[in-house]
Amino acid sequence: MSIDPLLQRLYARTTAGIKPGLERTLALLEAVDNPHSRLPVIHVAGTNGKGSTCTALASILQRAGYRTGLYTSPHIVRFNERLRIDGLAISDADVARLASLLLEHGEAIGSTFFEISTVMALQWFAERRVDVAVIETGLGGRWDSTNVVTPLASVITSIDMDHMEYLGNTLESIAREKAGIIKPGVPAVIGEPREALRHVFLERAAQVGAPCQFLDDMMHVELDRIHPDLSMTLSIMSDDGLEYGTTDLCGEHQVRNVGCALATLRLLADTYQVSREHVALGLQTAAASTGLRGRTEVLERNPLVVLDVAHNPAGMAALVRTITVAELASHPWQIVFGAFADKDVDAMLSMLAPIAHTLYACAAANERAMPSADVADRAHAAGIVAMNAGSVSQALTMARNTGHPVLVCGSFSVAEEILRHWNQPDVLP
């Protein structure tokens, strides 16, 4: 049976918007006998980096032999990507069963898409008796529906200006919302480096009686090199000495995310026995072993085709910096680019201009997509040689036919169309 009708009902709950408060999530959990009370959880929040930190944690724990649940968002191609155990996505049958179980009750009490999805994940992980569930917050922390868990450790990766309409318009107010995941007696790892925000986390930890440690006080992680194959090598310095690791999580922005994962595992050393070999193997295949897609992902090596879901100026700057540090910026990059109309497209294009040889403007099949002709016009204004390719499929075909390296970026919807058809040569050659 197709799960599409159930998923359409679930996606329809996005019209309920974002509703602060945990009461609906708790009511849904009560309806399925409170599975969250039976789960060992690592809970991760942050403006940026929380998904990658979750990925590194899950990969290392899997390598150490622990049955590991992973709940992240958003998905790129299929809803099932959000819920994984040992890297394998939830089956359609389990999605159908859990959605059927929760949708009627969720619709009756006005639950949102993310609230229902979160309870589906917690129920599935409890049923499968995972040894650990790595749970990523959706938005904020204090009122995020994942904040019903009492974790083994709370992790906060970084603080930046985002979702100000919900979290406040200062870094301090946003930090305070993220700090809401710190629970009584539960150790917390803070990856945010700004001294000016440290007091926010210390105050919350003191208020609830939680041990609180900062990444920079626990260890120092440095980027050694980003390799041309878009892997990277790190130096990890701590009281245990100097270690080196290679990871398929690529980019300077990933260095602190890896550090947060390693610091968390150090705090949980009495609970989860993780060796240096487990860490090394887990980092080497972090994205590959957990199903993470679209993060500086190499789809093809000859010629090089790279996919990244960068969809805002900060993400685009990090992507271009990664390519530059990998000594690939001099390549004649063919850029496949499409974006949502409500994004800062001009700023993203200005970031791409230094590496772009030719840009193939496209529009994903999404009502929010900027028309490809408008993208091409804006690219011209940014000093980029651009062609109006129309569809994502046509843009990729034109770019690959040059025989030069191709970079696909700009939106999750563009990435979705690329990944959905990548192995179907009758659609995308």
Note the pLDDT tens digit of each residue in 360-384. 999 999 999 999 999 999 999 999 9
Alpha-carbon torsion angle 251, 52, 48, 383, nearest 10 = 40
Q: Do 4-290 and 297-421 have matching folds? A: no
pTM for this prediction: 0.90
Q: Answer yes or no: is pLDDT of 26 > 60.
A: yes
Please say whether the beta carbons of 69 and 180 come within 8 A: no
Q: What is the largest CA-CA distance in the chain?
A: 60
Return the pLDDT at 8: 93
Q: Which CATH code is given to the segment(s) 297-421?
A: 3.90.190.20
Note the pLDDT tens digit of each residue in 43-96. 999 988 899 999 999 999 999 999 999 999 989 999 999 999 999 999 999 999
* 81 alpha-carbon distance from chain centroid: 11
Domain boundaries, the chain: 4-290, 297-421
Return the pLDDT at 162: 52
Domain 4-290 bears CATH identifier 3.30.365.10: no
Return the pLDDT at 168: 54
Q: Is 330 exposed, middle or buried (0-12, 13-18, 19+ CB in 10 A)?
A: exposed
